[in-house]
Structures are given as C-alpha cells and as structure tokens.
C-alpha cells in the first residue's frame, strides 16, 4: 500500500497550490453548501460540498481532506480540501494510508515534542462502495475526550453514506450505459448477420451504422495485401472503386491500421496524439468535418477498418468512440469469416497457405512452429526412411493330419468315454458298440457249422459225391459268416489311431443311439505337427511367394511370436465382408506344446524393405487408381 501512496503528498500540495478563492464557510453559508451538494455536476464538486458540510457539523475541525481512487493506476488523489483548497494537507496522508490499509475508521493522535498530551487528532474513515475501497476522508480535529472522538467517527460513518451513494449511482450509470451500448452493438451486428453473402452483410452493417450514429457516410474496407480496398459504403449497393472519395477513405483506413488504434479528427483534447493527416485530407475534401476510423481485427490480426463521417457540428466524443470500437471488435471477425467464405476456392486456398506461411516465419506462434517442424521431420522420415514391408492376414492353426474314427458297421453306441478336446494316446478306447447281436449271430453260425459237419460226414460215408459237394459249399459259407461275425466283434471297440487330441465328436449324450456304417464318430489330430493357414487379401497376394518367412501372434499367446515359412499358395479364394481372400499355407519353425488346432491370431509375412510412405499409403493409392480406371473413359 505504501507504493500506492507514492506522490500523494506532492499531489496534495499541487492541488492546494491551484489558483482558487479561499473557501472559508460560515453559518450563513449552510444553505449554499446544501445547494452545491445537490447541484454538483461531478464527483469533485460533490466531495467539496460534502466535506464542507461534514466539517461544519463536527465541532473544532481545523482541516479536512478527501482522497479518491484513480482506477487507471490504482493510486489515490485529492478530490476535496477544507477549509481552503490552497492549503497544504499532505500531513494527513499518513492517517489516510493507515485507514485504507486496515480498512476501518481510526483515530491517530498527534503528539508534539515534550508534550504530555496529544496536540490534535487525525480522524480517518475509508469510503467503500460496491465491494471496493473508493477513497478516504481525513479530519484534523482539536484535542477532545474519547467519547467525542467516537462521536466524530460515528458522524463520518453516517456521513460517508452520501459518498457511497454517489459511487453506487455512478456504477449503476456505468453499467446501464455498458448494457445499452452492448444492446446497440448486438442489434447492429445482427443486421449484418442475416445476410449470407459478404457484400450484403457489409453494406447492411454500414447502412445501419450510418443511421444509428447519425453519420453522413460509413465505409467498410479490408486489406488486400498491403492496401485497403473499400468493400461497402452505406446506402450504396454499387460504387466505383477508383473515385477520389474511395481513395481518400482507403488512405484514412490505412492510417488507422498502421497505428493499430482508433483515429478521430478533429482529435479530442486530453488524449494521446495520433497521426491524422489522411483523416484531415478526407474531411477537407468531402466537407465532412468529423472523421473516425476503427481498425478491424480477427485472430489478433488487423484485417480492415470502418470509417465514420459526420458533420463538423457533431464530432465524435468518447461515448460515440466507445460504441464504434465495440462494433468493430464484434463485427471484425464476423465480416472476415464472411469475406473468406465468399471467395473462390483457389483464393481461399491461397490465403490459407499465406496465413500459414506468415505464422511459420513471423513472430510468435511457437507451438505452431514446433508442430510444423515435427510434421516436416516426420514427412521427411516417411519419404526417405526404409522399413520392413509385411503383409498382415488373419491366421489359424490346422493339423497336418486329421483322421476320422468311423462306425465299422450298423449298430448301437454302448460306451463313449471321450469327447472333443480330450488328449488321447494311441490305442485309447474312443467308443464301444453293442456286441450282443453279433455274439448271437456268431453262435447261430457255429450251430449251423456243427450241423453241416454232420451232414458232410454222412455224405462221405454214403459215398455220395453230389451231396458232398453241396454240403461242403454250405459249410464254407457258414465258416465265412463265422469269420465275419468274429471280425465285427473285434471291431466293436473304436480306438485312437495315434497320440493326439479329439478335434470333434461327443457321444456322451448319445449312448444307445443307433449308428450306420461309415458314420464319423470322432476326428483325431496329432499335436506334434501343425500348419498355418493365412487368409491374404487379394490386393496383396501378388507380393506373396513360396519360401518367404514371417511371424504369427496367436490370441491365446499374444506375447510369444512364432516364426513360419510359406509353403503353398492355393488358387482358391473365399469371400468375406465384400472382399476376397486367398488361402496361403505355411509351416511353423517349431511346435509348442501349448498349441491346439483351431487357434487364431494375426500373421505377418515379410516381403522386403520399402519406403515408409509407400507402406502406409499404397493400399489407398491402389484403391484410387482402380476408382479412376473405373470412371475414366
């Protein structure tokens, strides 16, 4: 807070040294003081009258000072001095600083050297309004009891309400003016936003501005390179670009754009000076008298300007300038977007490349430049670096040998101890067929054989050659049927042909069910030898050759790649999801005990080293070539 009060004493002395009549108030002046308070035109006059009234209400006040906040720099400056504005009141700033720092009213005793009691008191009270410290009032009062000092503080507390009302009223007026200005700006911009084309939007905005702001003419122009071209003039749908008027308006716009701030002619007193040569020439040439130009910005870049022309008896004050700047700040990006979108595509592409180039070589945009550098480095890497080109395909494992266990004859399932997925050894019983009918049939044929043997011996004893031949033929037939029955009895047990895994078949739910001869009961595959089946897209099958190597990652073991070598490319294709795939067979370099038939994954066949850019874009380029070939005559 000490820095805030730097120069406070000197400011007080400067205010006191101003040439003004002495304001010494007497009792007869009360009515004039209250009249001055009611008719004050600014805060300084109000504070001067208010301080005089407070000083007369509080007895024995030797001097008083009011400091108000300057929002521009956050410092406090004297606004009122009593009883004489020429009097130096800098000695009261210490109490003022303490009151502002602590945010409360306080009484500071003034103790002279070798004096047992205070010679005077400085009574300070901060003024707060709308949640902000607006100032402080300090009184220099003669010595008095503690109770009377508290009465002084109470009087300042109640009297400060008048100053607080002043600041609250100013804040309300300021917010109302800002709200009305915002509403006017939105209405003006809305008049242009309804038009789809840039020329219509710019002309509508210029005409509405000229009507609302009582201007003789409003012109809107945008930069084309380093020159400004006027694109719209109020109340004029068509105008010639090379007239003296538009050249003068363009010069005024360029003058404001070069300075990067609003320019008005004649210049207002108390503001920083600006170059107004082009504006003066425009005013004298067209007889406007008053000219104001507001630069238009979009994305922190100056893109154009709006020039307002008024009669000489209506110069642009601060309020009108604020409205014009608000319109320009909101209309600039909207009109620039309209203008860009309303251009031909080649022009839009040109401006995009130009803006991008300016961002790359101009100041700032460090993030964009870094991203561009990374993108260029990545593009160069893709264009010149080589990588392994590999063809990816969906992959599955198939057993090299897969043998079926079939029903040897018509019969019924008696036992089925295994099912799909079980590991079996060679000779393991897979299924047993019911043999009761076969045993009965064998017993029947054995009985027939005994009977026929008796007949054969009798025919031999009777020396009947014909009967011997007949019975001998029947006996041979019966023996064949017996052998057949015994053979079928031996084949009622279906066994595994080798060590492996049951690929398909589950008869555990079909015990007692009939089966016909040749019915496949189980399929058995060995676990020692597998082959890889790759489904290669037809667009890449031309790069595949026998002998190429690759790796496969199975879904069951995604962290353990297995190497393979291409052995066969079949000329058979299958359709899936609107694309054709060819079957390519490969042999694994080694067999893992964890492998099972039917496991799926992704395999990649190594072709050769090629450019990364070609690897990642060749499929899209090939599709584009086919499309062009299809549509070109």
Residues 298, 294: Cα–Cα separation, whole Å: 13
The CATH number linked to 215 is: 3.30.450.40
- Across 34-38, 257-261, 402-406, 600-604, least confident range: 34-38
Q: What is the pLDDT of residue 395?
A: 92
Res. 564 pLDDT band, cuts 50 70 90: very high
| pLDDT(18) > 60 | no
Same domain membership, residue 593 and residue 498: no
Same domain membership, residue 515 and residue 558: no
Q: Which domain holds residue 240?
A: 194-348
User: Using one digit for the tens of pLDDT, what is the confidence trace for 368-380?
Assistant: 888 888 999 988 9
Res. 41 pLDDT band, cuts 50 70 90: low
Chain-centroid distance of CA 202 in Å reads: 32
Q: Which residues of 90-110 are buried (b: 16+ CB within 10 A; e: fewer)?
A: bebbbbbbbbbeeeebebbeb
Asked if residue 143 is part of any domain, the answer here is yes
User: Using one digit for the tens of pLDDT, what is the confidence trace for 438-490?
Assistant: 778 888 888 888 888 888 888 888 888 888 888 888 888 888 888 887 777 77
Same domain membership, residue 305 and residue 450: no
Residues 507, 484: Cα–Cα separation, whole Å: 26
Same domain membership, residue 518 and residue 534: no
Q: Around Cβ 8, how many Cβ atoms within 10 Å?
A: 20
Asked if residue 52 is part of any domain, the answer here is yes
Q: What is the pLDDT of residue 36?
A: 66
Res. 114 pLDDT band, cuts 50 70 90: low
| pTM over cut 0.85 | no
- Cα distances (Å, whole numbers) of residue 40 to 20, 127, 177: 17, 19, 21
Res. 602 pLDDT band, cuts 50 70 90: very high
Res. 347 pLDDT band, cuts 50 70 90: confident
Q: What is the mean pLDDT of residues 124-145?
A: 85
User: Using one digit for the tens of pLDDT, what is the confidence trace for 19-36?
Assistant: 333 333 344 456 777 776
Residues 284, 307: Cα–Cα separation, whole Å: 15
Examine the fold and report which residue of 524, 552, 572 is the final residue of a domain before the chain moves on: 524
Same domain membership, residue 539 and residue 507: no
| pLDDT(285) > 70 | yes
Q: What is the pLDDT of residue 20?
A: 34
| pLDDT(382) > 90 | no
Backbone angles phi, psi at 111, to 5 degrees: -105, 120
Q: Which of 152, 164, 5 is nearest to 77 (CA)?
A: 5
Res. 304 pLDDT band, cuts 50 70 90: very high
User: Using one digit for the tens of pLDDT, what is the confidence trace for 214-269?
Assistant: 898 999 999 887 889 898 898 876 666 557 888 889 999 999 999 989 998 888 77
Asked if residue 358 is part of any domain, the answer here is no
Q: What is the pLDDT of residue 307?
A: 94
Same domain membership, residue 266 and residue 222: yes
Res. 38 pLDDT band, cuts 50 70 90: low
Asked if residue 380 is part of any domain, the answer here is no
Portion of the chain with pLDDT greater than 90, in percent: 10
| pLDDT(10) > 50 | no
Contacts of residue 89, defined as CB under 8 A and 6 or more positions apart, other chains included, come to 12, 16, 63, 64, 65, 78, 81, 138
Greater confidence, 408 or 561? 561
Asked if residue 244 is part of any domain, the answer here is yes
Residues 344, 153: Cα–Cα separation, whole Å: 74
Q: Which of 419, 474, 409, 473 is nearest to 445 (CA)?
A: 474
Contacts of residue 26, defined as CB under 8 A and 6 or more positions apart, other chains included, come to none
| pLDDT(4) > 70 | no
Asked if residue 361 is part of any domain, the answer here is no
Backbone angles phi, psi at 22, to 5 degrees: -70, 135
Same domain membership, residue 466 and residue 425: yes
Same domain membership, residue 509 and residue 472: yes
Cβ(161)–Cβ(64) below 8 Å: no
Cβ(492)–Cβ(435) below 8 Å: yes
- Across 275-279, 564-568, 594-598, least confident range: 594-598
Same domain membership, residue 18 and residue 120: yes
Examine the fold and report which residue of 503, 524, 545 is the final residue of a domain before the chain moves on: 524
The CATH number linked to 408 is: 2.40.50.100
Same domain membership, residue 269 and residue 203: yes
Asked if residue 353 is part of any domain, the answer here is no
Q: Which of 212, 219, 216, 218 is nearest to 181 (CA)?
A: 212
Q: In total, how many domains does the chain have?
A: 4
Same domain membership, residue 431 and residue 288: no
Q: What is the pLDDT of residue 548?
A: 92
Q: What is the mean pLDDT of residues 180-185?
A: 73
- What is the three-class DSSP state of 77? strand
Same domain membership, residue 217 and residue 162: no
| pLDDT(539) > 70 | yes
Asked if residue 16 is part of any domain, the answer here is yes
Greater confidence, 429 or 230? 230
Q: What is the pLDDT of residue 115?
A: 63
The CATH number linked to 604 is: 2.40.30.170
Q: Which residues of 287-322 are buried (b: 16+ CB within 10 A; e: fewer)?
A: ebbbbbbbbbbbeeeebbbbbbbbeeeebbeeebbe
């Amino acid at each position: 807070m000490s820095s805030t009060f730097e120069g406070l004493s000197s400011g007080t002395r400067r205010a006191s040294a101003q040439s003004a009549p002495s304001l010494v108030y007497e009792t007869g002046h009360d009515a004039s003081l209250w009249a001055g308070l009611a008719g004050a035109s600014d805060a300084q006059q109000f504070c001067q009258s208010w301080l005089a009234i407070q000083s007369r209400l509080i007895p024995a006040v030797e001097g008083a000072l009011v400091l108000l906040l300057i929002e521009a720099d956050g410092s406090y400056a004297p606004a009122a001095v009593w009883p004489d504005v020429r009097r130096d009141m800098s000695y009261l700033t210490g109490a003022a600083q303490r009151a502002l720092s602590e945010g409360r009213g306080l009484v500071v005793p003034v103790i002279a050297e070798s004096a047992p009691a205070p010679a005077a008191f400085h009574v300070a009270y901060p003024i707060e309004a709308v949640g902000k410290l607006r100032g402080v009032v300090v009184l220099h009062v003669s010595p008095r009891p503690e109770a009377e000092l508290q009465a002084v503080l109470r009087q300042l507390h109640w009297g400060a309400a008048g100053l607080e009302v002043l600041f609250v009223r100013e804040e309300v007026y300021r917010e109302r003016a800002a709200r009305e200005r915002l509403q006017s700006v939105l209405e003006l911009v809305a008049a242009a936003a309804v038009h789809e084309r840039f020329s219509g939007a710019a002309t509508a905005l210029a005409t509405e501005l000229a009507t609302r702001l009582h201007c003789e003419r409003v012109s809107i122009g945008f930069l084309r390179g380093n020159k400004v071209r006027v694109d719209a003039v109020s109340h004029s749908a068509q105008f010639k670009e090379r007239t003296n008027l538009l050249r003068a308006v363009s010069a005024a716009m360029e003058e404001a754009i070069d300075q990067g701030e609003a320019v008005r002619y004649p210049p207002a007193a108390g503001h920083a000076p600006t170059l107004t040569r082009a504006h003066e020439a425009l005013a004298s040439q067209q007889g406007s008298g008053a000219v104001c130009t507001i630069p238009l910005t979009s994305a922190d870049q100056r893109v154009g300007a709006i020039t307002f022309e008024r009669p000489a008896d209506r110069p642009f004050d601060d309020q009108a300038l604020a409205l014009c700047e608000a319109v320009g700040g909101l209309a600039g990006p909207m009109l620039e977007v309209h203008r860009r979108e309303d251009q031909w595509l080649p022009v839009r592409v040109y401006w995009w490349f130009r803006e991008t180039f300016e961002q790359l070589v101009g100041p700032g945009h460090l993030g964009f430049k870094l991203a561009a550098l990374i993108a260029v480095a990545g593009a160069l890497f893709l264009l010149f670096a080589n990588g392994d080109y590999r063809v990816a395909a969906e992959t599955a494992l198939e057993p090299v040998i897969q043998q079926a266990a079939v029903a040897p004859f018509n019969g019924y399932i008696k036992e089925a101890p295994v099912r799909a997925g079980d590991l079996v050894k060679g000779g393991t019983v897979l299924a047993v067929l019911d043999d009761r009918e076969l045993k009965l049939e064998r017993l029947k044929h054995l009985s027939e054989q005994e009977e026929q043997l008796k007949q054969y011996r009798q025919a031999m004893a009777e020396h009947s050659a014909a009967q011997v031949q007949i019975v001998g033929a029947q006996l041979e037939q019966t023996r064949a049927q017996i052998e057949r029955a015994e053979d079928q009895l031996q084949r009622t047990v279906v066994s595994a042909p080798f060590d492996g895994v049951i690929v398909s078949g589950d008869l555990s739910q079909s015990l007692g069910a009939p089966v016909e001869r040749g019915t496949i009961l189980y399929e058995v595959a060995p676990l020692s030898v597998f082959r890889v089946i790759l489904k290669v897209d037809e667009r890449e099958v031309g790069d595949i050759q026998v002998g190429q190597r690759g790796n496969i990652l199975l879904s069951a073991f995604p962290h353990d790649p297995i190497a393979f070598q291409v052995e066969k490319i079949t000329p058979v294709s299958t359709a899936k999801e609107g694309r054709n795939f060819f079957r390519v067979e490969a042999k694994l370099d080694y067999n893992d005990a964890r492998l099972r038939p039917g496991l799926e994954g992704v395999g990649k066949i190594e072709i050769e080293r090629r450019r990364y850019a070609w690897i990642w874009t060749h499929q899209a380029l090939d599709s584009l070539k086919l499309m062009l070939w299809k549509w070109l005559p």
